[in-house]
Amino acid sequence: MSLKPLTDLPTTPQKIKRALISVSDKTGITDLAQSLHKSGVEIISTGGTAKAIEKEGIPVKDVSEVTGFQECLDGRVKTLHPMVHGGILARTSHEADRNEISELGITPIELVVVNLYPFKDKVADPDVTPAEATEFIDIGGPTMIRAAAKNFAHVSILSSPAQYTSFIEEFEEHMAISFDTRRALAKDAFAHTADYDSAISNYFTKLTEEEPAKQINISLPLSQELRYGENPHQKAAVYGDQNDFIDCFHGKQLSYNNYLDVDAALNIISDFDDTEPACAIIKHTIPSGVGVDANLTEAYKKAFSTDRVSPFGGIVVVNRKLDIETAKAIDEIFTEIIIAPDYSEDALELLTQKKNRRLIRIKKSVKEVQATSSRTIFGGMLDQEADLTPSDPNTFKVVTKRKPSEQEMKDLLFSWKVVRHVKSNAIVYAKEGRTLGIGSGQTSRVDSSEIAVAKAGKEGLELSGSAIASDAFFPFADGVEAAAKAGAKAVIQPGGSIRDEEVIQKADEYDMAMIFTGQRHFKH
């Protein structure tokens, strides 16, 4: 959609004679106030902001002097007054507006500096009460921001301390602020209030336990612009707070596809706690191999042995500090990204020798906050609870005559952890803490099984005595029969097919142990 040019708005640089400053985050505010004061700008302020500026010896007029009305209701009302908002909203390029504010005794305000109460930080505290949270809902602040942003043709609005430095530089050089700058600041201001309102709306949605939410409000800050998307001809950017979860401290900037792979890696490794070392190798968001062992190096070797081709240019993720022996093993092939909670000094010395290899440190588990999963579709988006519910073996049901042995049970639980991270239709063969064959993304479950078997054969891995996991039920007995002929002796699947009895009979026929979990792990 093409927009009409802004020919009906005054686009000349705007001089600043009067500024209103009222901020929650006082970072850099005295430097800004000092610059304005030196340039002869009259400063109006409120409460704690006024005190911080006055402390530096800078003259400040309290907003009550402008309104002729003292602040009241414990500070809830102080700027909501025509003398304030008339000064902000006056279109000083319009003769009618100039005449009207002159008659009313209102003086224009050309600069508004406001940021809001830290509502997000407050409600992030699990112990905060609704009464405490609602006191951090700013009223006057958003009103002033929106008023100034609406009148950007005549007013500059600073809504973040990050804007102060460039603003001061432009103001001190030209003694005025350009139209383009004012328009850009207005855009940032509206984004700021939209994010603030989204946080409040989402809080009240949780407070009222509304499921599903009648409206989803998403407001994410730009994290960084990317070189391109999935393909070079696609523009792309990443939004949100990825730096809260990872620290990519070595190598090139992560690409669009890298972020998808890192997300997959973080999700699968989060399923393996610190009871034993675990390693997963990811390629195109799918695990090519997963291994656990008492030794991290052996866990990596188990994962790598599942598929010795796909790991080239892939991602390796581990759940323990990466030691030098494991680093040496990984370094034997080209690995694009390595992810670990931490790295030993000698491992870092080795791995940082390759400039293009990305090294990532895990700062926080995705399980801590990833409660929902969303995807865009035509006309909107899909939203669901994330598939993070841990499996409870106590709810599993052995449906065959033979129960799994202790080792088979370990293999079944391991393969069940892995299969939830494989694209449907998903099949995983596993034994003794290692994946032997992984089949994914096929239109037929039998096809996925055949691919898994073929991959195991290609790597010379023996499937005899293995466990097989299926993300959804086997619709026909032929899937179990094929697994038995491949060498599998234990099966874990959700169950729920109208042919479950036939499938169970086939498992009994081959003396297999089979578990129904009652839980499906489709991953489309």
Write the DSSP assignment of 96-163 as a string of letters: HHHHHHHHHTPPP--EEEEE---HHHHHTSTT--HHHHHTT--SHHHHHHHHHHHTTTT-EEE-SGGG
**Region 90-108 average pLDDT:** 81
**Region 246-257 average pLDDT:** 93
Domain annotation for the chain: domains and CATH numbers: 18-207 (3.40.50.1380), 227-366 (3.40.140.20), 395-516 (3.40.140.20)
Q: What are the CA-CA distances from residue 341 to residues 276, 307, 322, 512 (Å)?
A: 14, 24, 8, 39
Nearest alpha-carbon partner for 172 in 362, 289, 26, 37: 37
* Chain segment 77-98, per-residue pLDDT in tens: 666 677 777 788 888 788 887 7
What's residue 337's pLDDT?
Answer: 96
Nearest alpha-carbon partner for 84 in 33, 20, 37: 20
Q: What percent of the chain has pLDDT over 90?
A: 47
Give the pLDDT band of residue 74 (cuts 50, 70, 90).
low
Q: Catalytic residue, from 81, 122, 150, 301: name it.
A: 150
* Chain segment 160-169, per-residue pLDDT in tens: 999 999 999 9
What's residue 288's pLDDT?
Answer: 95
* Chain segment 319-340, per-residue pLDDT in tens: 999 999 999 999 999 999 999 9
CB contact set of 184 (below 8 Å; sequence gap of 6+): none
Active site residue 284: yes
Residue 4, pLDDT above cutoff 60? no
Which three-class secondary structure state does DSSP give residue 50? helix
Residue 408, pLDDT above cutoff 80? yes
Q: Catalytic residue, from 122, 284, 328, 367: name it.
A: 284
Q: What share of the chain is helix, strand, coil (3-state, %, to 5)?
A: 40, 20, 40
In the block, residue with structure tokens 């037929």: 444
The model's pTM: 0.77
On average, the pLDDT of the chain sits at 87
Residue 217, pLDDT above cutoff 80? no
Judge residue 488's burial from the number of C-beta atoms within 10 Å of its C-beta, 0-12 exposed, 13-18 middle, 19 or more buried.
buried
